């Protein structure tokens, strides 16, 4: 028991620096933002009383939180959120990214991994090709996509000999722009998934496949009955992290459309995502932190729910 106590102290000391930093930069802000989400008319860092009373004329009493002022506690921010068309658009865009691009991307990655695992020649070459997007900067890739799908000089329009079809430039439809974004995020996310799946497949004992071969198992059954179940911990890991990543999608939209816009010229909120919406709310000039906090809380709850759901499913379907 004494030994255990001594060890616990050592562990606490070793963990302290990380815990301290996380407390300051992660836990404290999270708690704060949860509180802010329920503060009505919360404005941060407005020292000038004049400005505040200008924004809320007739407001008699207000309270302070973290140096900002608010008029009351309630769900005013959430009401605002769900009446805001931009937020609804963001929810819709994010949901499509999550529920369409992630499954497609996981399936494609699985297929490519199986293919890579079954060839011997040129495997290294293909592995490198598929891994390249992972080591390349997101913004740089976005710029490449931006030019590949450009209305005038884009490779895609040239290749298929289409005149003036706008994918991501002025006049683009939501469908076409979303298609480009999907292609981009699926392809960009493949690299990491393939690496994880490949290493998982290589750690599966070859004898399972030999045993299956001796028992005359067709290829498709080998894949569904042996490879997939034995790979299921990796598939779960990739699915959960990809879902989380897709819920937080932001930089790929920015990368495709250019600085600070979420859509083609003329409709700059077309492909806005929840994270994009949250960032916009934290615009320094306005600082209505309450709405941003409420939006991030909504995102948090969605991710929490989906992940919980996935974990429940995994209890039945994942074999460690």
Partner 1 sequence: MEKKNDEFLSEEAQTKKIIHESVEVRLQNLTKEFYDKSGKLTIAVNDFSVVIPAGKLIGLLGPSGCGKSTTLYMIAGLHKPTAGSIFFGDEDVTNMPPEKRGIGLVFQNYALYPHMTVRKNILFPLENMKVPKEEALELAQQMAELVHIGDLMDRKPNQLSGGQQQRVAIARALVKKPRVLLLDEPLSNLDARLRLQTREEIKRIQRETGITTIFVTHDQEEAMSISDEIVVMNNGLKQQMDKPQSVYEEPINMFVAKFLGNPPINIFEAEIKKGQIIMRDGEVLEEGFTEPDQEVFVGLRPEYLRIDPNGKVAAEIEFVEHIGRDTMILCHVDGYDHRLRAIVPSETRCEAGQKVRFNYSKLFVFNAETGERYR
Query: Which spans of this chain sit near partner 1 (rule: CB under 8 A)?
Result: 205, 207-208, 210-218, 221, 225-226, 229-230, 232, 319
CB of 123 to partner 1, least distance (A): 16
- Closest CB to partner 1 among residues 5, 316: 316
* Rounded Cα distance, 257 and 274, in Å: 17
* Rounded Cα distance, 92 and 105, in Å: 19
CB of 205 to partner 1, least distance (A): 7
CB of 220 to partner 1, least distance (A): 11
- Closest CB to partner 1 among residues 128, 213: 213
Residue 136 — left, alpha, or beta (φ > 0 → left; ψ -120 to 50 → alpha)?
Answer: beta
CB of 42 to partner 1, least distance (A): 52
Q: How far is CA 82 from CA 75, 248, 279, 284, in A?
A: 11, 19, 17, 23
Residue 42 — left, alpha, or beta (φ > 0 → left; ψ -120 to 50 → alpha)?
Answer: beta
Burial 160-182 (b: 16+ CB within 10 A, else e): eeeeebbbbbeebeeebbbebbb
CB of 87 to partner 1, least distance (A): 43
CB of 229 to partner 1, least distance (A): 4
- Closest CB to partner 1 among residues 226, 265: 226
Q: Who contacts 244 (Cβ-Cβ below 8 Å, separation ≥6)?
A: 303, 307
Q: Is the dihedral of CA 244, 247, 251, 253 positive or negative?
A: positive
- Closest CB to partner 1 among residues 111, 229: 229
Reference 296, options 25, 21, 2, 31; nearest CA is 31
- Closest CB to partner 1 among residues 195, 230: 230
CB of 239 to partner 1, least distance (A): 18
- Closest CB to partner 1 among residues 40, 232: 232
- Closest CB to partner 1 among residues 92, 319: 319
């Amino acid at each position: 028991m004494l030994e255990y106590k001594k060890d616990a102290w050592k562990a606490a000391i070793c963990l302290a620096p990380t815990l301290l930093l996380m407390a300051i930069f992660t836990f404290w802000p999270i708690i704060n933002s949860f509180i802010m989400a329920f503060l009505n008319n919360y404005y941060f860092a407005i020292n000038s009383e004049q400005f505040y009373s200008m924004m809320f004329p007739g407001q008699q009493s207000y309270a302070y939180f973290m140096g900002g002022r608010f008029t009351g506690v309630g769900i005013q921010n959430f009401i605002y959120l769900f009446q805001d068309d931009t937020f609804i658009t963001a929810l819709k865009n994010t949901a499509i990214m999550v529920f369409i691009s992630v499954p497609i991307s996981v399936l494609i990655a699985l297929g490519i991994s199986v293919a890579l695992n079954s060839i011997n020649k040129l495997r290294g070459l293909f592995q490198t090709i598929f891994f390249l997007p992972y080591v390349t900067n997101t913004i740089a890739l976005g710029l490449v996509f931006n030019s590949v799908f450009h209305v005038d000089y884009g490779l895609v329009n040239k290749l298929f000999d289409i005149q003036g079809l706008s994918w991501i430039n002025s006049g683009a439809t939501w469908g076409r722009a979303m298609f480009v974004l999907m292609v981009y995020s699926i392809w960009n996310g493949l690299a990491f998934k393939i690496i994880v799946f490949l290493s998982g497949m290589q750690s599966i004992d070859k004898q399972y496949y030999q045993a299956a071969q001796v028992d005359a198992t067709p290829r498709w059954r080998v894949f569904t009955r042996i490879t997939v179940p034995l790979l299921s911990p990796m598939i779960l890991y990739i699915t959960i992290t990809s879902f989380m990543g897709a819920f937080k999608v932001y930089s790929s939209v920015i990368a495709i459309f250019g600085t600070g816009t979420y859509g083609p010229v003329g409709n700059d909120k077309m492909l806005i995502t929840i994270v994009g919406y949250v960032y916009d709310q934290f615009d320094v000039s306005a600082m209505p932190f309450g709405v941003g906090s409420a939006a991030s809380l909504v995102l948090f709850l969605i991710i929490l729910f989906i992940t919980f759901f996935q974990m429940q499913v995994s209890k039945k379907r994942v074999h460690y």
